[in-house]
Chains A and B, each alone.
Chain A
Amino acid sequence: MLDGEPLVRWHWLGDHLGYLADLTADHAVIALVPVLLALLLAVPLGLACARFPRLYQPLAAVFNVVYALPSLAVFVVLIPYTGLATRQTVMVPLTCYALAVLLPTAVDGLRAVPEPVRQAATAMGYGPWRRLAAVELPASVPYLIGGLRVAAVSSISLAAVGALVGRGGLGYLFVDGFQRTFPTPILAGIVLVALLALATDLLLVAARRVLAPWERGAAR
């Protein structure tokens, strides 16, 4: 099939370093800005769900369905609203996917505070909202970061599909390589996507160590 084309043409990589860097940066924006947006939405939504538990079940059901929707189909359906080959077409669905992961982890995290801790807080004179903000929310940070890790890694790999609707960051390398029967960019794309995911994951692990120092103590 490759007709003598080598799997990797190293000099192509050397010649296109700047190009690859640009695509990686674009990919990071397309994939990770939605995760941050989802985090900004998940925290207040999670707080509301923790305060009013009846809210959670229907919301969880909706996001469950959203999560199961194939990304390409969702990108395509959005094109009339957000346009072909725009970032929004890809970023809006990715935000929804990330929210589908983050909302349950946020709610779980807020609920994970042991009952005696909650009681003690109430007995010391915290009102319900203040208690959520001062006790449950900080205690849920490890959960939130766990959710962020899953959401971010998924988002980075899903964003590549956006190339089929004209905006996919590193995903463009797959389309380009396929059309030219040229495997080098495809391999480069796979490796760069995986590396970006790995780097993000490492960053979040580090963030957890800084933001949730009490967990290290508990391990001892």
Chain B
Amino acid sequence: MIRFEGAAKRHPDGTVAVRGLDLEVPAGRTTVLVGPSGCGKTTILRMVNRMVEPTAGRVLLDGTDVAELPAAGLRRGIGYVIQQAGLFPHRRVIDNVATVPRLLGWDRKRARARAAELLELVGLPPETARRYPAQLSGGQQQRVGVARALAADPPVLLMDEPFSAVDPLVRAGLQEELLRLQAELGKTVLFVTHDIEEAVRLGDRVVVLREHGEIAQLADPHTLLTAPADAGVAAFLGRDRGLRGLGLRPAGSVPVAALDGRIAYEGWQLVLDPDGRPEHWLRGAERHPAPVFVPSRDSLRSALDAALLAPSGHAVAVDAEGRAVGTASRAAVVEALAATGPVGAPLPEQVPHAGR
């Protein structure tokens, strides 16, 4: 667990980066610091591994003030991923990943074996190992960066806008990968981003920051979207919060009509492949794709989306293997929505133009 106790950073020229932060970062969860540029989020992150020394207050790592730990040793025990990956250009990918184990005194063979494991873990093909960083794409470099940070199996991972420099499609893939990794590894992750979408997607807890590292709101993503603490946070969250909030609600509550022989609505007939996976909706010679959702995994938002897109007005529910198990009409999805209560909670004050 990481604990900030009145941690502050004032630069020598008198400007205040962080006024005094009290925050607990629980172990084994992902905590996201999000805020506009200049809010001090990177400074806060870097206090943990002493890349920035607080000018007042302290930062505790599992109860020990980090200022009392030797900087190099402390850092070897904390993974750190940054926006530009920061890979060593002169070392092969495998040796980049093996850096911290080597620093910790592992022999080359063992460090490389570990590095190879990690490359596989972050989804890079084995032939990447022999390449140099300049030969990789931006997304691949970021994966190597994550692998390198995880190499010595540190309990804590600091991530400073790690996915900001890659294009949106790659970013989505990397986010997915991080969620998968985190489910598997359960690290204490402190993640910095300026992208609220990313914060809501990745965080177990989201800390919205104002200037000087002041906490505007600390909440789980759902609460944040549905009940912003004030107009400022609401404005930062942007439009369509209600709809985006649906993305955080499970689709399990949607009533699914069981498949029953031949499925047809308004002339549209659902065509399945031999394994029972939906192929398309068919009416006469007209074909349309059949949007699907997985009730056990996807969100209400996905279910609604699938229902809206289906020409028949029915989303197809599928199991984890993609086999159709039933259908859900638009009305059924809305019914499930209504059952979960209002998406938004009352605001403490009026928000006339949220998102502008």
Residue among A122, A125, A212, A220 making CB contact with B100, cutoff 8 Å: A125
Residue among B71, B86, B92, B134 making CB contact with A120, cutoff 8 Å: B86
Contact partners of B145 in chain A: CB under 8 A: 120
Q: Is the CB of B82 within 8 A of A119?
A: yes
Tell me the nearest residue of chain A to B135, going by C-beta: A217
Task: Provide the B139-175 mask, 1 if CB < 8 A to any CB of A, else 0.
Answer: 0000001001000000000100000000000000000
Q: Is the CB of A125 within 8 A of B132?
A: no
Q: Is the CB of B134 within 8 A of A116?
A: no
Q: Is the CB of B72 within 8 A of A139?
A: no
Q: Is the CB of B90 within 8 A of A119?
A: no
Tell me the nearest residue of chain A to B103, going by C-beta: A125
Contact partners of A119 in chain B: CB under 8 A: 51, 82, 86
Q: Could you say which of A113, A125, A135, A213 has the most chain B C-beta atoms within 10 Å of its C-beta?
A: A125
Task: Provide the B45-81 mask, 1 if CB < 8 A to any CB of A, else 0.
Answer: 0000101000000000000000000011111101010
Check: B131 CB closer than 8 A to any chain A CB.
yes
Bound Cα distance from A135 to B89, whole angstroms: 9
Contact partners of A118 in chain B: CB under 8 A: 86
Q: Is the CB of A138 within 8 A of B90?
A: yes
**Chain A, range 89-133, C-beta contacts under 8 Å to B:** 113-114, 116-127
Check: B85 CB closer than 8 A to any chain A CB.
yes
Bound Cα distance from A124 to B77, whole angstroms: 8
Q: Is the CB of A217 within 8 A of B86?
A: no
Q: Is the CB of A139 within 8 A of B84?
A: no
Bound Cα distance from A133 to B72, whole angstroms: 16
Check: B99 CB closer than 8 A to any chain A CB.
yes
Residue among B51, B83, B92, B103 making CB contact with A126, cutoff 8 Å: B103
Residue among A117, A125, A126 making CB contact with B89, cutoff 8 Å: A117
Bound Cα distance from A99 to B131, whole angstroms: 34
Contact partners of B90 in chain A: CB under 8 A: 138-139, 141, 212, 214
Check: A1 CB closer than 8 A to any chain B CB.
no
Check: A218 CB closer than 8 A to any chain B CB.
yes
Q: How far apart are A130's CB and chain B's nearest CB, in angstroms?
A: 8
Tell me the nearest residue of chain A to B80, going by C-beta: A123
Q: Is the CB of B103 within 8 A of A120?
A: no
Bound Cα distance from A220 to B132, whole angstroms: 11
Bound Cα distance from A113 to B89, whole angstroms: 9
Q: How far apart are A143's CB and chain B's nearest CB, in angstroms?
A: 12
Q: Please judge, given known A-B contacts A212-B90, A214-B89, whether A124 and B132 are in contact too, CB under 8 Å.
A: no
Check: B87 CB closer than 8 A to any chain A CB.
yes
Q: Is the CB of A122 within 8 A of B83?
A: no
Contact partners of B265 in chain A: CB under 8 A: none
Q: How far apart are B48's CB and chain A's nearest CB, in angstroms?
A: 10
Contact partners of B82 in chain A: CB under 8 A: 116, 119-120, 123
Contact partners of A213 in chain B: CB under 8 A: 132
Bound Cα distance from A126 to B148, whole angstroms: 14
Check: B88 CB closer than 8 A to any chain A CB.
yes
Contact partners of B88 in chain A: CB under 8 A: 117, 120-121, 135, 139
Contact partners of A116 in chain B: CB under 8 A: 82-86
Bound Cα distance from A113 to B76, whole angstroms: 21
Q: Is the CB of A125 within 8 A of B73?
A: yes
Q: How far apart are A79's CB and chain B's nearest CB, in angstroms?
A: 45
Q: Could you say which of B76, B87, B134 has the most chain A C-beta atoms within 10 Å of its C-beta?
A: B134
Bound Cα distance from A186 to B76, whole angstroms: 63
Q: Is the CB of A218 within 8 A of B135?
A: yes
Q: Is the CB of B100 within 8 A of A139?
A: no
Tell me the nearest residue of chain B to A220, going by C-beta: B135
Residue among A122, A123, A214 making CB contact with B132, cutoff 8 Å: A214
Contact partners of B91 in chain A: CB under 8 A: 138, 214
Bound Cα distance from A125 to B88, whole angstroms: 14
Bound Cα distance from A125 to B51, whole angstroms: 10
Contact partners of B148 in chain A: CB under 8 A: 120, 124
Q: How far apart are B134's CB and chain A's nearest CB, in angstroms?
A: 4
Residue among A117, A124, A139 making CB contact with B76, cutoff 8 Å: A124
Residue contacts A-B, CB under 8 angstroms, 6 given: A116-B83, A120-B86, A122-B75, A123-B51, A125-B72, A214-B92
